[in-house]
Amino acid sequence: MAAPLTVEGWDGRDVRLGQVEAELARLRGLSAAEGRGSQQRTSVMTHVAWVPPEWLDAAERTLEGMAERHPSRTIILVPHPESGQSRIDAEIAVRWFPAGDRSVCGELIELHLHGERARAPASIVLPLLISDLPVFLRWRGEPVFDGPQWVQLVEVADRVVVDSSEWRELRYRELAEAFGQAAVSDIAWARLLPWRLELAGRWPGIRDQEIEIRGPRAEAALLRGWLCARLERVLPPAASSRELGVRVEGDELAPQGAGVASPSDLLSAELERFGRDRVYEQAALAAAQLTGV
Amino acid sequence: MIAATTQNPLLEGLQVRRRPEPCAVVIYGASGDLTQRKLMPALYALAVRRLLPDRFAVVGAARTRESDEAFRARMEEAVRDHARDPFDREVWEELAAGMRYCTLEAPDAGAESRLSAILRQLDEERGTAGNRLYYFAVPPSAFEPLVREVAERRSREGWVRLVVEKPFGHDLESARRLNELLAERFAESEVFRIDHYLGKETVQNMLALRFANGIFEPIWNRQFIDHVQITVAESLGIEGRAAFYEQAGAIRDIFQNHLLQLVAITAMEPPIDFTADAVRNEKVKVLRSLHTPGPRSVVRGQYGRGFIEGEEVPGYREEEGVAPDSTTETFVAAKLHVDNWRWADTPFYVRTGKRLPRRETTIAIQFKRAPHPPFEETAAEGLRPNVLLIHVQPNEGMSLAIGAKVPGQGMTIRTVHMDFLYGSAFREALPEAYERLVLDAMLGDATLFTRADEIEEQWSLVDAITAAWKRDRPAFPNYAAGTWGPPSADELLHRDGRSWRRH
């Protein structure tokens, strides 16, 4: 992964969105004027992240790890609804990454939404979207599923990425209400891929075999939901454990593939998907049914 | 319960990459440059991405005497020098564990039985199941006896596939003979004639561009396109390959294969699907439709002394191993016509050469001018026709030249470029052509390989051109190294009121 050649930044307090666009254009022009060769903005999406303050460090680390993999405009929305004032503070950066004899830029817009301004995030995102490109929404933490922020941003997004392992409650039934509006991804589900590959490779024997699952709540519930839905039978409840593990007929399985994917890799993979993941939807609904949530 | 169903419900939604069946790859010509620079780095890249079969082996076969250990050490060095991925000891050890070497002392039945014994042993030790991919990275003279031996040694278990490098013959007659030799012993589906240009992402992207976008195909015809220019330019000279190049020249080295394949991909009709036969059926129709160009429509050249990147370089006739009065062409340009409904009267200008100013392979689709620009003549002075430029290499991508208003008072229009660079939109490194092609051959997918009838059509055109050349003696050298070919190449287009693209 290449480090950015240059980073141009700007920040402002109580800003208007027009100012943000103007500053982005100025920063792009600044780099070009400094004669660092032919530069261009190539975007394949707008990446919106809803990041409550307690998730900000983790979100920034994940984005840092993704570096230039997805040339995009990234808009991080940090809500501060309890703030006494109603205003938007902005930190923006234009980062240039080497691309052959040219360089390509990614734009990072971090908006802190204070007070009332945190109530209608879609109205803040819409003017900043890049036309005609898909919008990916990464929702950090547990959404308030009937809150205006979730409802509005899901409406704007083509794909919503959550991580149900970040939730206090496994609220798959409420998440399922978004399935018809946007494609939904779950990082907890993405972590199961090596296990799913391994289990799929055991067909047809696995059809009737005894399967025991243990692991973190979200991953274990989704894996169990998936197996129950696909094999059309009920498996025993998953045991709680820090690490995911599966036994088939008493034999411990090893997941396929090497190593554990980083949060950046997992998010990056989700940003490459477009269509609805019906198998996930089915697994999440089965998990909801089996766990009664 | 799922009863009596053989469909695996757990596979749905999993994007399981197709992995080849267990097999052994035999590389004939394992001591050569191609094996070190391309084949072994490609196998290593596939190993890094876990795209090789679970049970896999590589046997290097060549005349050079070498032990298994020495072969592995040489291949490790090749991977370290030429692979696109950083060297990973664990991946390498796994790949090298299935690596053997067999010294061939052709014609030597003993050597062949040694190779058979090695392959049988690998079947037992590595579980390669009798499946064989033979890669012929050998000179044409060595090809025929090896093919016969492979056919004789053919096992009843497993599959056999042959990957054949260019040159595939040196004229139509020799190509037909090779095709017959192969057809007597192998099915066409077992033969993979490689043209590495077809493995390049940008060449495949031409198919995506044309057939995955609704906006291009409706205008991809004589009504909207003025002409097409295809350039395969190299700044290098012959790099010590005088023996080969003196026989081949630019027309056999590049024009007969890469250039004509680029023409076919650009001009073909939409295939009904992306299967090997559907794609190749359409390509061969284009090759059959190519009108044999008359002598005035073909230009040949040979470079003299000149400068490349500020450095003086010798002329072709001064290169080591080249005859001082050589008439081998190092440059070819031609005006081709595809005689069909879509392309009638739309010329394809193609050129290839060595010691041109820079390395560049591009396909330029030049559209017709706007019929009636309502601007003053001076306003549009800087305006050129729309050009869709496909950069095959380097800087893989596409550009569309469009007219745009210069900001300010009045109306001045200039041409600007909208660029799509692979490297900036998709931040994954592009795979090397050989990675894709070797993997496809292991999978038995011949879509990106050249079929027997395509090869014969290509040679048929080349034979017609070279037959005319035999009648005169060219005044070579006729272009200086570091220039875009002889003046006659420019005249070829000037006669039609056109010019080569500005670089």
Does some domain include residue A146?
no
Where is the domain boundary, A105, A133, A161?
A: A133
Per-residue pLDDT band for A278 (boundaries 50, 70, 90) equals: very high
Does some domain include residue B172?
no
Nearest chain A CA: its distance from B362 CA (Å):
17
| CB–CB contact A200 B421 (8 Å) | no
For residue B4, pLDDT beyond 70 = no
Domain span at residue B51 reads 23-165
Helices B40-48, B68-82: axis angle to 10 degrees equals: 80
Is B408 in the same domain as B477? yes
Comparing CA positions, the residue from B185, B107, B199 lying closest to residue B150 is: B185
Domain span at residue A266 reads 190-291
Where is the domain boundary, A92, A117, A133?
A: A133
Helices B452-469, B276-289: axis angle to 10 degrees equals: 20
Per-residue pLDDT band for B5 (boundaries 50, 70, 90) equals: very low
What pLDDT shows up at residue A191? 93
**Contact map slice: A 213-242 vs B, CB within 8 A:** 227, 230-233
B137-164 pLDDT per residue, tens: 988 788 888 998 899 888 778 999 999 9
Counting Cβ atoms within 10 Å, is residue B309 exposed (0-12), middle (13-18) or buried (19+)? exposed
For residue B430, pLDDT beyond 50 = yes
Nearest to B14 among A99, A104, A197 (CB): A197
For β-strands B397-405 and B387-393, DSSP reports them as: antiparallel
Q: What is the CATH number of the domain that holds B87?
A: 3.40.50.720
Is B202 in the same domain as B350? yes
Q: What are the chain A neighbours of B394 within 8 Å (beta carbons)?
A: 100
- Indicate the number of domains in chain A: 2
Residue of B nearest to A257 (CA): B50
Nearest to B424 among A99, A231, A278 (CB): A99
What pLDDT shows up at residue A42? 62
Nearest chain A CA: its distance from B429 CA (Å):
10
Q: What are the chain A neighbours of B421 within 8 Å (beta carbons)?
A: 40, 42, 99-100, 102, 104
Is B360 in the same domain as B451? yes
Is residue B196 among the annotated active site residues? no
Does some domain include residue A182?
no
Is B37 in the same domain as B137? yes
CA distances from B120 to B24, B336, B366 (A): 10, 51, 56
Nearest chain B CA: its distance from A116 CA (Å):
37
pTM, entire model:
0.78
Nearest chain B CA: its distance from A257 CA (Å):
9
Is B90 in the same domain as B236? no
What pLDDT shows up at residue A178? 95
Per-residue pLDDT band for B424 (boundaries 50, 70, 90) equals: low
**Contact map slice: A 124-153 vs B, CB within 8 A:** none
DSSP A156-210: H-SEEEE-GGG-SS--HHHHGGGTTTSEEEEHHHHTTHHHHHHHHTTTTGGGSS-
Nearest to B13 among A40, A206, A279 (CB): A279
Per-residue pLDDT band for B110 (boundaries 50, 70, 90) equals: low
∠ CA B379-B216-B372, rounded to 5°? 30
User: What is the 3-state secondary structure of B370-414?
Assistant: CCCCCCCCCCCCECCCCEEEEEEECCCEEEEEEEEECCCCCCCEE
Which residues lie below 8 Å from residue B445, measured CB to CB, with a gap of 6+?
B276
Task: Quote ipTM for the complex.
Answer: 0.73
Per-residue pLDDT band for B406 (boundaries 50, 70, 90) equals: confident
Q: What are the chain A neighbours of B12 within 8 Å (beta carbons)?
A: 230, 279
DSSP chain A: -PPPSEEEEEEESS--HHHHHHHHHHHHHHHHHTT-S-EEE--SEEEEEE--GGGHHHHHHHHHHHTTSS-EEEEEEEEETT-SS-EEEEEEEEEEEEETTEEEEEEEEEEEEEGGGGS-HHHHHGGGSPTTS-EEEEE-S---TTSHHHHHHHHH-SEEEE-GGG-SS--HHHHGGGTTTSEEEEHHHHTTHHHHHHHHTTTTGGGSS-EEEEESHHHHHHHHHHHHHHHTSPPPPPEE-SS-EEEETTEEP--SSSSPPPHHHHHHHHTT--S--HHHHHHHHHHHHHHT-
What pLDDT shows up at residue B69? 95
Nearest to B425 among A44, A102, A197 (CB): A44
| CB–CB contact B427 A278 (8 Å) | no
B212-245 pLDDT per residue, tens: 888 889 999 999 999 999 999 999 999 888 988 9
Q: What are the chain B neighbours of A253 within 8 Å (beta carbons)?
A: none
Nearest chain B CA: its distance from A44 CA (Å):
7
Does some domain include residue B233?
yes
What pLDDT shows up at residue A43? 66
B418 touching A (Cβ < 8 Å) = no
Q: What are the chain B neighbours of A45 within 8 Å (beta carbons)?
A: none
Does some domain include residue A155?
no
A105-116 pLDDT per residue, tens: 788 999 999 998
Q: Is B225 left (phi over 0), alpha (psi -120 to 50) or beta?
A: beta
Q: What is the CATH number of the domain that holds B362?
A: 3.30.360.10
Is A127 in the same domain as A11? yes
Is A125 in the same domain as A237? no
Supply A127's token pair: 């003017």
A40 touching B (Cβ < 8 Å) = yes
Does some domain include residue B8?
no
Is B149 in the same domain as B271? no
Is A126 in the same domain as A235? no
DSSP B170: S
Supply A215's token pair: 């692991």
| Lowest mean per-residue pLDDT among A61-70, A87-96, A271-280 | A61-70
Is B263 in the same domain as B120? no
Per-residue pLDDT band for B3 (boundaries 50, 70, 90) equals: very low
Nearest chain A CA: its distance from B13 CA (Å):
6
Buried b (16+ CB within 10 A) or exposed e, B100-137: bbbbbebeeeebbebbeebbeebbeebebbbbbbbbbb
Q: What is the mean pLDDT of chain B?
A: 89
Where is the domain boundary, A133, A168, A201?
A: A133
What pLDDT shows up at residue A98? 67
Average pLDDT over residues B51-63: 93
Supply A26's token pair: 């100025």
CA distance A124 to A142: 21
Is A110 in the same domain as A12? yes
Which residues lie below 8 Å from residue B228, measured CB to CB, with a gap of 6+?
B266, B267, B346, B347, B348, B349, B363, B364, B365, B366
What pLDDT shows up at residue B380? 65
CA distance B265 to B379: 37
| CB–CB contact B421 A102 (8 Å) | yes
**Contact map slice: B 15-74 vs A, CB within 8 A:** 16, 50
Comparing CA positions, the residue from B374, B497, B482, B463 lying closest to residue B172 is: B463
Is B309 in the same domain as B397? yes
B394 touching A (Cβ < 8 Å) = yes
Is A122 in the same domain as A202? no
B294-352 pLDDT per residue, tens: 889 999 999 999 988 778 899 999 999 999 999 999 999 999 999 999 999 999 999 99
Asked whether B337 and B348 are in contact (CB, 8 A), the reply is yes
∠ CA B407-B412-B416, rounded to 5°? 70
Does some domain include residue B189?
no
Average pLDDT over residues A289-293: 80
Is A15 in the same domain as A97? yes
Residue of A nearest to B419 (CA): A40
Nearest to A71 among B9, B50, B424 (CB): B424
Q: What are the chain B neighbours of A99 within 8 Å (beta carbons)?
A: 421, 423-424
What pLDDT shows up at residue B358? 85
B421 touching A (Cβ < 8 Å) = yes
Where is the domain boundary, B143, B165, B187?
A: B165
Query: Which one of the listed residues B258, B372, B391, B494 is annotated catalytic?
Result: B258
Nearest chain B CA: its distance from A5 CA (Å):
14
Is B28 in the same domain as B94? yes
Q: What is the mean pLDDT of chain A?
A: 87
Does some domain include residue B182?
no
B8 touching A (Cβ < 8 Å) = yes
| Lowest mean per-residue pLDDT among A31-45, B173-187, B456-470 | A31-45
| CB–CB contact A232 B11 (8 Å) | no
Supply B396's token pair: 């893989």
Nearest to A200 among B10, B425, B428 (CB): B10
Is A37 in the same domain as A102? yes
Per-residue pLDDT band for B18 (boundaries 50, 70, 90) equals: confident
Is A127 in the same domain as A203? no
| CB–CB contact A233 B13 (8 Å) | no
Which residues lie below 8 Å from residue B476, measured CB to CB, with a gap of 6+?
B301, B302, B316, B317, B326, B327, B329
Is B267 in the same domain as B125? no
Is B160 in the same domain as B298? no
Asked whether B117 and B80 are in contact (CB, 8 A), the reply is no
Does some domain include residue A257?
yes
A149-204 pLDDT per residue, tens: 999 999 999 999 999 999 999 999 999 999 989 999 999 999 999 999 999 989 99
Is A85 in the same domain as A201? no
For residue A2, pLDDT beyond 60 = no
Is B156 in the same domain as B226? no
Supply B64's token pair: 């050079």
Does some domain include residue B170?
no
- Indicate the number of domains in chain B: 2
Residue of B nearest to A192 (CA): B14
| CB–CB contact A230 B9 (8 Å) | yes
| CB–CB contact B13 A40 (8 Å) | no
- Note the maximum CA span of chain B: 84
Is A85 in the same domain as A196? no
Is A207 in the same domain as A284? yes
